[in-house]
Amino acid sequence: MKPAWDKLSKQYADSADAGVYDVDCTAAGKPLCDSNGVRGFPAIKWGSPDNLEKYQGGRDFDSLLEFAKENLKPVCSPANLDLCDDDKKAEIETFMAMSDSELKAAITEKDAELEAAEKTFKDEVAKLQSKYEQLTKDKDEAIEAVKASGLGLMKAVKAAK
């Protein structure tokens, strides 16, 4: 993927509207990665630097370029209100009217909701993994019991008749 990413990065190097960047999540970029939920590498995020989203498309150059052409452009934000529909403008105005402490508290609350959803997901996956392991063990034991009960000899006798 790295050669495709580097090629895309060069293609957008002179763009005034969008950029394609590398961030080293193990060094100076760690705080940025942590704040955007990057847990595995390589990870591709896109969108406003203040609200990055997970990229889920192909990782070859053509897929990355197609996605970039369709999505890497100015988007609705407080800095680009002219790109917003009426509902988004109203939402931004509501947030702009909040005090810094109110906005920080609202962000903290929403971040906690995200963390709770992630925790629930991880906990439930762990339960599923445990159940899967138990089912696999039960199946293997059942197969072994059937084989030990003479199935192989039965098939040999049947073939010999």
> Tell me, what's the pLDDT at 34?
84
Q: % helix / strand / coil in the chain, to the nearest 5?
A: 65, 0, 30
> Which residues share a beta bridge with 45?
54
How do the pLDDT tens digits run along the chain, 161 residues long?
Answer: 888 888 888 887 887 777 888 888 888 888 888 888 888 778 888 887 777 888 899 999 999 989 888 888 887 889 889 999 999 999 999 999 999 999 999 999 999 999 999 999 999 999 999 999 999 999 999 999 999 999 999 999 999 99
Domain ranges for the chain: 1-73, 112-161
> Tell me, what's the pLDDT at 154?
94
Q: Count CB neighbours of 25 within 10 A.
A: 19
> Tell me, what's the pLDDT at 93?
96
Q: What is the separation, in whole angstroms, between the first and last Cα of the chain?
A: 60
- What are the two backbone dihedrals, phi and then psi, of residue 46, each rounded to the nearest 5 degrees? -145, 165
User: Which CATH code is given to the segment(s) 1-73?
Assistant: 3.40.30.10
Closest CA to 11 of 54, 50, 62: 62
E strand or H helix at 53, and its extent?
Answer: strand 53-54
Closest CA to 71 of 136, 149, 19, 145: 19
